[in-house]
């Protein structure tokens, strides 16, 4: 069955009031060497939107105050490995000044509700932004830290760890690498050390390209819906496209289902079909030749698109989207082998794809959708010393038609975070297939 979270007809939503108790800056336990004090951007870093990559991890009640306090100590211990995170961005010259200005560390509390009430009652995603230490659009200025974390204690003793890292420096995979490394340091786990690499500027050098647009969390025109596809729901979708081939992945079937629903709701709004562009993100790490380490930090994502004319989009459905999106992702994975073959290939495959995809998304009359897969970054494995998360989430991201796919705790489902303009969401909620998710 499907379970939907974010459609509140039959439930009472809780609100929460977050009180900031303390702000400070954590410096690296070991000073950054002078030869690493200037961190230059790669060509892909330069193109990113001005915003933070964000995530929140939620932990059950814990009376172990020492473990919570150890978060601050362990953060200082791992900052030397993630040395750009303790610096500040120089927008004029497009580099990070890694002079150990420090990462921001915020302590907060919620006294009006318990953590389980927030999770079970389904707090509005916009309110989850209060568990983050920064506005999502607070990036690129010298006054903003590259890394900022917020430790929020609930009245039940539960804890939420909200993390913001500048998208100018990291993508979601890099974000996951940092979370894993911080958790291991806090737990004192010395097995399988995580050794981040900050070398993408050497094989994908910056070109002084124009920055992407700026986003702000104050844009209330964007709403977020969280939809849970459990194991049974995903199997049901797979059964609809079953054949003798290998079953499609969870990500492909959920992306195809939502693309189909979003196109239907777009037709309902505009009365007639529109041409569409669907963008998918592919992590290039371990897929290049030679392979980049999975711990390489930076923005190392290949953007690939599927395009449909107005007539084609009218006839598209879930069953036709599955092979289309699945094959498109497979082709992108195979393209990764050519990225490091020579600089021209890398530029054409990464930069030109990126610019071309965004240009198409911004064309007038085009219905643009963007899917990004966060399901493989092991957030549910992040044990800081008081157990593994009972939930992980993003928040309200002010980018319309963005679908973020998160893993579930049992590693057998997908949580889809669908970000839409409020006027578009009204049609999306009324789609018959989407309405079934609430019953």
pLDDT in tens, 240-260: 998 767 889 999 999 999 999
Tens digits of per-residue pLDDT, 80-119? 999 999 999 999 999 999 999 999 999 999 988 888 888 8
Distance (Å, rounded) from C-alpha 382 to C-alpha 352? 36
Given a cut of 60, whether residue 45 has pLDDT beyond it is yes
CA angle 198–379–127, rounded 5-degree value? 105
Given a cut of 70, whether residue 295 has pLDDT beyond it is yes
- Looking only at the bridges linking them, the beta strands covering 159-166 and 52-59 are antiparallel
Tens digits of per-residue pLDDT, 193-205? 899 999 999 999 9
> 157 with 63: CB under 8 angstroms?
yes
Task: Determine the pLDDT at residue 155.
Answer: 86
Question: What does pTM read for this prediction?
Answer: 0.93
DSSP 349: I
Helix (H) / strand (E) containing 118: helix 115-121
Task: Identify which of 169, 173, 218 has the alpha carbon closest to the alpha carbon of residue 375.
Answer: 173
Task: Determine the pLDDT at residue 53.
Answer: 98
Task: Identify which of 85, 427, 152, 101 has the alpha carbon closest to the alpha carbon of residue 268.
Answer: 427
Backbone dihedral angles phi then psi of residue 57, each to the nearest 5 degrees: -115, 135
The β-bridge partners of 96 are: 39, 89
Task: Determine the pLDDT at residue 365.
Answer: 87
Distance (Å, rounded) from C-alpha 131 to C-alpha 140? 21
> 14 with 116: CB under 8 angstroms?
no
Q: In what order do the strands lie in the sheet with 301-308?
A: 2-5, 222-229, 414-421, 402-407, 367-373, 276-283, 301-308
Given a cut of 90, whether residue 134 has pLDDT beyond it is yes
Given a cut of 50, whether residue 172 has pLDDT beyond it is yes
Task: Determine the pLDDT at residue 361.
Answer: 81
Going by pLDDT thresholds of 50, 70 and 90, the confidence category of residue 216 is: very low
Tens digits of per-residue pLDDT, 17-33? 899 999 999 999 999 99
Going by pLDDT thresholds of 50, 70 and 90, the confidence category of residue 2 is: very low
Tens digits of per-residue pLDDT, 324-351? 999 999 999 999 998 987 767 777 789 8
R_g over Cα of the chain: 21
Task: Determine the pLDDT at residue 212.
Answer: 57
The percent of residues in the chain predicted with pLDDT above 90, rounded, is: 72
Task: Determine the pLDDT at residue 348.
Answer: 78
Q: What is the mean pLDDT of residues 370-390?
A: 95
Cα 434 to Cα 7, 9, 163, 257, 274: the distances in Å are 10, 14, 31, 10, 20
Q: What is the mean pLDDT of residues 182-191?
A: 92
Catalogue all structural domains in the chain, each as residue range(s) with its CATH number: 11-203 (3.30.559.10), 222-438 (3.30.559.10)
Task: Determine the pLDDT at residue 218.
Answer: 55
Name 226's Cβ contacts closer than 8 Å, sequence gap at least 6: 5, 6, 122, 125, 393, 415, 416, 417, 418
Given a cut of 70, whether residue 147 has pLDDT beyond it is yes
Task: Identify which of 109, 414, 426 has the alpha carbon closest to the alpha carbon of residue 269.
Answer: 426
Instruction: Indicate which residues carry an active-site annotation.
Output: 167, 383
Task: Identify which of 163, 181, 193, 228 has the alpha carbon closest to the alpha carbon of residue 408.
Answer: 228
- Count other C-beta atoms under 10 Å from residue 24's C-beta: 11
Task: Determine the pLDDT at residue 63.
Answer: 62
Distance of alpha carbon 268 from the chain centroid: 29
CA angle 293–344–298, rounded 5-degree value? 30
């Amino acid at each position: 069955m499907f379970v939907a979270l974010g459609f509140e007809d039959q439930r009472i939503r809780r609100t929460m009031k977050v009180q900031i108790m303390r702000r400070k800056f954590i410096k690296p336990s070991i000073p950054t060497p002078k030869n690493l004090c200037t961190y230059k951007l790669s060509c892909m870093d330069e193109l990113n939107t001005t915003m933070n990559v964000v995530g929140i991890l939620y932990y059950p009640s814990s009376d172990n105050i020492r473990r919570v306090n150890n978060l601050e100590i362990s953060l200082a211990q791992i900052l030397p490995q993630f040395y750009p995170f303790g610096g500040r961005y120089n927008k004029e010259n497009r580099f990070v000044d890694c002079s150990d200005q420090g990462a921001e560390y915020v302590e907060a509390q919620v006294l009006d509700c318990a953590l389980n009430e927030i999770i079970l009652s389904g707090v509005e995603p916009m309110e989850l932004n209060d568990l983050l230490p920064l506005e999502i659009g607070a990036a690129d200025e010298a006054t903003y830290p590259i890394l900022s974390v917020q430790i929020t204690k609930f009245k039940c003793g539960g804890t939420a760890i909200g993390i913001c890292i500048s998208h100018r420096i990291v993508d979601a995979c890099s974000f996951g690498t940092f979370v894993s490394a911080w958790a291991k340091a806090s737990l004192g786990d010395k097995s399988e050390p995580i050794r981040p690499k900050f070398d993408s500027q050497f094989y994908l050098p910056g070109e002084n390209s124009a920055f992407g647009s700026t986003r702000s969390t104050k844009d209330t025109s964007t709403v977020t819906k969280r939809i849970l596809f459990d194991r049974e729901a995903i199997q049901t979708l797979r059964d609809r496209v079953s054949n003798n081939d290998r079953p499609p992945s969870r990500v492909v079937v959920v992306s195809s289902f939502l693309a189909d629903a979003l196109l239907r709701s777009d037709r309902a709004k505009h009365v007639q079909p529109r041409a569409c562009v669907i963008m998918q993100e592919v992590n290039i790490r371990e897929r290049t030749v030679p392979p980049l380490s999975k711990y390489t930090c930076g923005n190392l994502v290949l953007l690939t698109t599927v395009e449909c004319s107005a007539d084609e989009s009218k006839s598209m459905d879930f069953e036709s989207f599955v092979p289309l999106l699945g094959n498109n992702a497979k082709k992108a994975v195979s393209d990764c082998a050519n990225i490091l073959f020579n600089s021209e290939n890398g530029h054409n495959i990464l930069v030109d794809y990126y610019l071309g995809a965004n240009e198409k998304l911004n064309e007038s009359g085009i219905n643009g959708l963007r899917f990004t897969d966060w399901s493989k970054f092991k957030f549910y494995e992040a044990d800081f010393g008081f157990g593994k998360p009972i939930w992980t989430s993003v928040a309200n991201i002010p980018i319309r038609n963005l679908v973020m796919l998160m893993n579930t705790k049992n590693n057998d489902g997908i949580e889809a975070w669908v970000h839409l303009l409020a006027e578009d969401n009204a049609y999306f909620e009324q789609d018959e297939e989407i309405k079934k998710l609430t019953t």
